[in-house]
Amino acid sequence: MTDQTSQAARTACGAIRAGDQGKAVELCGWVNRRRDHGGLIFVDLRDREGIAQIVFDPKHPSFPDAERLRNEDVLRVRGTVRARPQGTENAKLPTGGVEIGVDDLEVLNRSEVPPFPVNGDDDVDENLRLEYRYLDLRRPRMQRNIATRHRIVKAMRDFFDARDFLEIETPMLIKSTPEGARDYLVPSRIHPGTFYALPQSPQLLKQILMIAGFGRYMQIARCMRDEDLRADRQPEFTQVDVEMSFCTQEDVLETMESCMRDVWKRVLGVELGPFPRFSHAQVLERFGSDKPDLRYDLELVNVTSIFEGSDFVVFKSVIESRGAIVGLRYPGGASLSRRDFDALTELAKQNGAKGMVWIALGADGVKSSAQKFVGDEHIGALRYSLDAETGDAILLFADARPAALTVAGRMRGEVAERCGLRDKTKYAFCWVTDFPYLELDEATGRPAPAHHPFTAPGEGQWEFIDSDPLAMRAQHYDLVLNGFELGSGSIRNHKPEHQRRIFEMLGMTPEQIEERFGFFVRALEYGAPPHGGMALGIDRIVMLACGEDDLREVVAFPKNQAARDVMMDSPSAVAENLLRDLSLRSTAPPPER
Ligand code: ASP
């Protein structure tokens, strides 16, 4: 009960229970559904907490008004809680044992007919949902997801507060902090021709907070990255951003793992076991991905040695060029038809395979796309190394080692999906550590930091910086859940000479270092403590905790597939004079409508 008004206490619709019988209550909410039945009018009145059934008697003066009620009208109702007549209870609703006999009805506002039903979770076109987001958010699933999001963020804040972290806000108008994406820029009116960058992350500022002596920082931080959209990416997103001084990698891992364990227990009532740890090299070898889905096993196996001496030209040439043949078990896959296998081969090609050899271990014999070249000795060894049984299929991918592993890793996900192994109620976390310092940037083809340039090389790795920088390992770690990267972190370069050396390795001249990061290197020169940290994506965490497949289901006001806010109609053109004030002129053609 909340908010005492006149005679009756205002009560949440969904909070009324059998024990409230005889109580005078006041309810406010939206008409979820109206039913005219046996001379009586029943209205399901909805608020955030749930639904209450209110009943209008034909003899009551409010009856004619009740007859005109439509879905989504907003009401205030006063009445008395009573038991529903025997046989009319609704066991599915927590309020299903009682109803409210209406004494007084006030229609606070009318609603237009909504463009889609609000009283259920039916599939609705995404753009329509986003255009009328206020109605979409009224629906039960979105109400649940947004409330879960609140509880997750609250649990995180409580966790870090209990461990003496300070939540410190960092500004939105800053200078570029590289996280591998484009910056969103904000033109300065006062300083014509110059721009602020919106933060891709608070990385440099949180490191400066360590230099400033705060020791333990956290922030529920908004980040903006101008990247192409995907279902698991939005141009702006929220991270739980963390930094600690005088810490080791182990300290950061322990902190973040405990936080996740705490959140899962408090919010979902799920006890998580210790998170397994793998090196980057291990996950690639065993799962063909740096974000492995560990809800199922289906480990990849390098079966190259089984085909040593094979006459099969594909295998022969791969072995000669020191490539690899990678095997994947497909549980129950022997029942697939030739045509199914052809389709699967096509899919493997779309995923980058040069080809795929399949072997079906049927009860009535073995069939294969390379029948002539797969003998009993191969089958026996494959069965053994892949733990395959009669009824399974085996898929083989031959290529240069990294390419074969990557394709097999992608097909591992496909096989798991087909076998129903991607169980949304399972939560398989894991750590990936010992990343290479550099990786080839797909866009430029040049080496770039696998994390960001503030990351410290691993122990003993400085010696490779001149001779073989691509071989350098970093003190960089990722947390992965069900095949999604939740976030990354690292131990940082706290010595200014080390930070400069990394910038130089990345090809920056002293002038460029000064121009972009001079302020930061200078800060490192004034007694920067050793420090490290991590950031986890809250949107992804909530998405997986809610069993959703799309970030838009857990963000109140997301952008659509084309990075537009279709409710507000943003981005949109602005008046000429506003551009003039900013010393800007648009060279783009006028936007199409
Ligand atoms: N700033 C990094 C990121 O957004 C996280 C970190 O290194 O702490 O991925």
pLDDT at 7: 59
Q: State which ligand 1 atom lies nearest to the alpha carbon of 533.
A: 8
Average pLDDT over residues 507-530: 96
CATH no., domain 296-422: 3.30.1360.30
- Please tell me the distance between residue 422's alpha carbon and the centre of ligand 1 in angstroms: 28
253 vs 77, 450, 545, CA distance in Å?
Answer: 53, 19, 20
Q: Looking at the predicted structure, is the pLDDT value of residue 35 above 70?
A: yes
- Please tell me the distance between residue 202's alpha carbon and the centre of ligand 1 in angstroms: 8
pLDDT at 51: 95
**Residue of the CA atom closest to atom 9 of ligand 1:** 488
* Whether the CB of 201 sits within 6 Å of ligand 1: yes
Q: Report yes or no: 499 and 513 within 8 Å, Cβ to Cβ.
A: no
**Residue of the CA atom closest to atom 1 of ligand 1:** 203
Fold of 11-109: OB fold (Dihydrolipoamide Acetyltransferase, E2P) (2.40.50)
Q: Report yes or no: 466 and 517 within 8 Å, Cβ to Cβ.
A: no
* Whether the CB of 488 sits within 6 Å of ligand 1: yes
3-state secondary structure of 166: strand
Q: Looking at the predicted structure, is the pLDDT value of residue 590 above 90?
A: no
Q: State which ligand 1 atom lies nearest to the alpha carbon of 202.
A: 1
Predicted structure pTM score: 0.94
Contacts of 373 (CB under 8 A, 6+ apart): 310, 311, 312, 315
* Whether the CB of 53 sits within 6 Å of ligand 1: no
Q: Report yes or no: 59 and 89 within 8 Å, Cβ to Cβ.
A: no
- Please tell me the distance between residue 521's alpha carbon and the centre of ligand 1 in angstroms: 18
Q: Looking at the predicted structure, is the pLDDT value of residue 269 above 60?
A: yes
Element (H or E) spanning 307, and its range? Answer: none
pLDDT at 445: 81
* Annotated domain spans of the chain: 11-109, 144-273+485-537, 296-422
**Rounded to whole angstroms, how far apart are CA atoms 488 and 578?**
39
What are the phi and psi torsion angles at 303 (to 5°)?
A: -110, 20
CATH of range 144-273+485-537; options 3.40.50.2000, 3.30.930.10, 3.90.850.10, 3.40.50.12780? 3.30.930.10
- Please tell me the distance between residue 444's alpha carbon and the centre of ligand 1 in angstroms: 22
Average pLDDT over residues 581-587: 92
- Please tell me the distance between residue 178's alpha carbon and the centre of ligand 1 in angstroms: 10
Query: Of the residues 177, 198, 203, 216, which should be mutated to test ligand 1's pocket, given the most ligand atoms within 8 Å of the CB?
Result: 203
Nearest CA among 191, 198, 215, 20 for reference residue 101:
20
